[in-house]
């Protein structure tokens, strides 16, 4: 696909903005793509909902806002209730089954996986939940390669935490490929 329009949503502290920045930098710095990463803070931000948008494209990006994402990630019930309606028909919706209860159907593919519990069981640190989610997302799509994400993590994360981030990324990929 020439252009992917991705929205990550959840609550402050789940690391969705960081995940969006890591994905954008992986695409730009290691895959030669263009990217725009945006936080549009509206009134919902004051209610605790966080939204981070990424556009990744093989072509220059002229309009940086995502209106209808073809890939949507919702990590809280509030984010799901608020944003699931904006998905592009035929798009991919990824939700975390620990936080989000599916309600109704969307016009696309809805994948719900227990990323949070997997992180807590295998790694025991909620801080890498977002990296696991990113692993799951790249396991489900062909957005960027895992080694591109890993290179960005290595440039951003303190040396002592790199191993844990790598485990979280690999765990996410494993979850994506082992079962839905």
Smallest CA-to-CA distance from 111 within 95, 89, 99 is with 95
- 20-39: which residues touch its own copies (CB under 8 A)? 21, 24-25, 27-29, 32, 34-39
Beta strands 3-11 and 108-113, pairing class: unpaired
Q: Is 142 exposed, middle or buried (0-12, 13-18, 19+ CB in 10 A)?
A: exposed
User: Counting contacts by CB under 8 A, is residue 100 touching its own copies?
Assistant: no
Q: How far is the CB of 84 from its own copies (least distance, A)?
A: 23
What residue has token string 């605790």? Answer: 48
Q: Which is nearer to its own copies, 13 or 107 (CB)?
A: 13
User: Counting contacts by CB under 8 A, is residue 17 touching its own copies?
Assistant: yes
Buried b (16+ CB within 10 A) or exposed e, 125-140: eeebbbbbbbbbbbbb
Site string for its own copies, 153-172 (x = CB under 8 A): --x-----------------
User: Counting contacts by CB under 8 A, is residue 57 touching its own copies?
Assistant: no
Q: Which is nearer to its own copies, 37 or 165 (CB)?
A: 37
Beta strands 108-113 and 91-96, pairing class: parallel
Residues 83 and 68: their CA atoms lie apart, in Å, by 10
User: Counting contacts by CB under 8 A, is residue 120 touching its own copies?
Assistant: no
Which of 12, 101, 109, 121 binds its own copies (CB under 8 A)? It is 12
Task: List interacting residues with its own copies (CB under 8 A).
Answer: 12-13, 17, 21, 24-25, 27-29, 32, 34-42, 45-46, 61, 64-65, 155
């Amino acid at each position: 696909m020439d252009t992917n329009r991705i929205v990550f949503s959840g609550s402050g502290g789940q690391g969705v903005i960081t995940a969006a920045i890591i994905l954008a930098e992986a695409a730009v710095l290691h895959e030669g793509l263009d990217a725009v990463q945006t936080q549009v803070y509206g009134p919902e931000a004051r209610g605790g909902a966080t939204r981070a948008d990424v556009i990744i494209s093989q072509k220059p990006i002229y309009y940086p806002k995502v209106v209808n994402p073809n890939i949507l990630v919702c990590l809280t019930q509030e984010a799901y209730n608020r944003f699931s309606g904006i998905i592009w028909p035929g798009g991919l919706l990824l939700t975390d089954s620990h936080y989000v209860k599916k309600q109704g159907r969307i016009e696309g593919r809805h994948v719900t996986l227990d990323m949070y519990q997997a992180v807590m069981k295998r790694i025991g640190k909620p801080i890498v939940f977002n990296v696991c989610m990113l692993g799951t997302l790249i396991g489900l799509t062909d957005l960027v390669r895992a080694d591109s994400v890993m290179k960005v993590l290595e440039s951003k994360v303190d040396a002592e935490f790199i191993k844990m981030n790598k485990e979280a990324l690999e765990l996410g990929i494993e979850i994506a490929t082992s079962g839905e």
